[in-house]
Structure 1
Amino acid sequence: MTSNVGGVDRILRIVLGLCLIGATILGFIGAWGWLGVVPLLTGVFRFCPAYLPFGMRTCATKK
C-alpha cells in the first residue's frame, strides 16, 4: 500500500475526523458524525482508496 495522501491533506483529514467524532460525543450532531472515522484513518495511514480510480495523489512522488 503506497502513500497517496500528502502533508496538508493529511492534517486536514485528521482534524476533520477528530472534529466530527468530538461533535458526536458532545452531542452537537447525530450518529452520522461517526463517519469522521473515515477521514481520520485515511489521514493516519496516508492512504485514500478513493484516489486510486482517478490516479490522484497529494504527496510528493519518489524519483
Structure 2
Amino acid sequence: MGSPIKEKGEQVVFLKQKLTMFMDLLDAIEPESADLEDIDRLISIIDDLESKCREFKNRDE
C-alpha cells in the first residue's frame, strides 16, 4: 500500500484516474452478456470510490 495522499490536487487526480478506469470498464461490458459478478464488481468500485472520497474529506478536516 502506498503512502497517504495529503495534497488536495493529488487527491483529485487520484479520484479522476479511478473514475476513468471505472468508465472504461463500464464501456467494455456488453449489456447482453453482463452477469451478476460484473454488476457486483461495478458496485464494489463505486463503494471504493465513495470510501476514498470520505477518507480524503476527513483528511482535510
Q: State whether TM-score is above 0.5.
A: no
TM-score range, shorter chain: 0.3 to 0.5
> What is the TM-score normalised by the length of structure 1?
0.42
> What is the TM-score normalised by the length of structure 2?
0.43
